[in-house]
Amino acid sequence: MSTVEKTLRASAAGAEGRPATAVGLDGVEVGFRTRKKDVTALRDVSLDVAAGEFVAIAGPSGCGKSTLLKLVAGLLAPTSGEVRLHGEAVRGPRPDIGYVFQRAALLEWRSVRRNILLQAEMRRMPGEEARRRADELIEMTGLTGFEDAYPHELSGGMQQRVALCRALLHKPPVLLMDEPFGALDALTREQMNLELNRIWRETGTTVLLVTHSISEAVYLSNRVAVMSARPGTVTEIVDVDLPAERDYAETLGRQEFRDATSRIRELLGAASGED
Ligand SMILES: Nc1ncnc2c1ncn2[C@@H]1O[C@H](COP(=O)(O)OP(=O)(O)OP(=O)(O)O)[C@@H](O)[C@H]1O
């Protein structure tokens, strides 16, 4: 583990070595007013995510999962209730988060390295430090040898790896991922799940992941927050009783994995046909 990662892990632990709360939502409600009607997207959402924890959010389409991530990022303000990052109320866009979306959204005219370094340019990070960090991430995500390739020369999985490097460049203590592997084929998605589990363990980053896949949610997380249909609220938090380091096939065969997936499927309604 590098010194940077050790520091990140140490700062993730609160007083007396207990993990501090990285993300807190308290009685959050979000309403949208459109020309035609008012929509309550989230109602009474409360959720605490400990520093270094991996929490997945699962729920039916339109229940407010993306809205919840936008609140944490400070891109949206709640109508009522409070959102906190590291104990501090979120009052506007936060620089200390990383965001990965379903589409990698890379700049076609920039190489892999320069797409990753875009984050540094936006944040005016010192060049040498940013280049070192980009190299570290390129190696961590298996992109070595493709630094000078352009997005059209990459597979979908590789493009998402670049997006992940870009999101992690400034070492955000909190990483928000909105259905990041939804557009990938099943095998690539499995590979990305394995890699994300390793990267999460190596960096100690707190992760909030929105996913429609129940198995992905359970494979990756410490806990899965299951939401109801709109107005979305967290109906139950399912604990995933598995070791942090997870072999893919072995994990899927474990009773704890089956217990968690069937509980989530039950909560979401077997008829939804998800996963
Ligand atoms: N800016 C907005 N203005 C008006 N309504 C909005 C806005 N953003 C979201 N909504 C509404 O809020 C609800 C929740 O949207 P959100 O995108 O958070 O759901 P989701 O659970 O992420 O959906 P999906 O799983 O389909 O991506 C939806 O009914 C959506 O139409």
Q: Looking at residue 164, what is its pLDDT?
A: 92
Output the CA 253–ligand 1 centroid distance in Å. 35
Output the CA 154–ligand 1 centroid distance in Å. 31
Output the CA 42–ligand 1 centroid distance in Å. 9
Q: Looking at residue 104, what is its pLDDT?
A: 86
Q: Looking at residue 152, what is its pLDDT?
A: 96
pLDDT single digits (tens) 29-83 = 999 988 888 999 999 999 999 999 999 999 999 999 999 999 999 999 999 999 9
Q: What is the mean pLDDT of residues 175-190?
A: 91
pLDDT single digits (tens) 23-39 = 999 999 999 988 888 99
Contact 268, 60 (CB under 8 A): yes
State the chain's mean pLDDT as an integer. Answer: 89
Q: Is the pLDDT of residue 224 over 60?
A: yes
Q: Is the pLDDT of residue 17 over 80?
A: no
Q: Looking at residue 197, what is its pLDDT?
A: 94
Q: Which atom of ligand 1 is nearest to the CA of 178?
A: 22
Give the dihedral sign, CA 138/140/145/151: negative
Q: Looking at residue 194, what is its pLDDT?
A: 92
Q: Which atom of ligand 1 is nearest to the CA of 210?
A: 22
3-state DSSP assignment of residue 243: coil
> Which of 10-14, 17-21, 264-268: highest mean pLDDT?
264-268
Dig out the tokens for 6 from the structure: 């050790």
Ligand 1: lining residues by beta carbon, under 6 Å:
32, 34, 39, 41, 59, 61-67, 230
Q: Looking at residue 26, what is its pLDDT?
A: 97
Q: Is the pLDDT of residue 233 over 50?
A: yes
Separation of alpha carbons 12 and 20, rounded Å: 6
Output the CA 41–ligand 1 centroid distance in Å. 7
Q: Looking at residue 8, what is its pLDDT?
A: 45
Confidence of residue 273 (pLDDT cuts 50, 70, 90): very low
pLDDT single digits (tens) 91-131 = 999 888 999 988 888 999 999 999 999 999 988 888 899 99
Q: Looking at residue 211, what is its pLDDT?
A: 96
**CA angle at 207 for the pair 104 and 132, rounded to the nearest 5°:** 65
Strand arrangement, sheet containing 38-50: 38-50, 21-33, 80-85, 88-89
On the 0-12 / 13-18 / 19+ scale of CB atoms within 10 A, 139 is: exposed
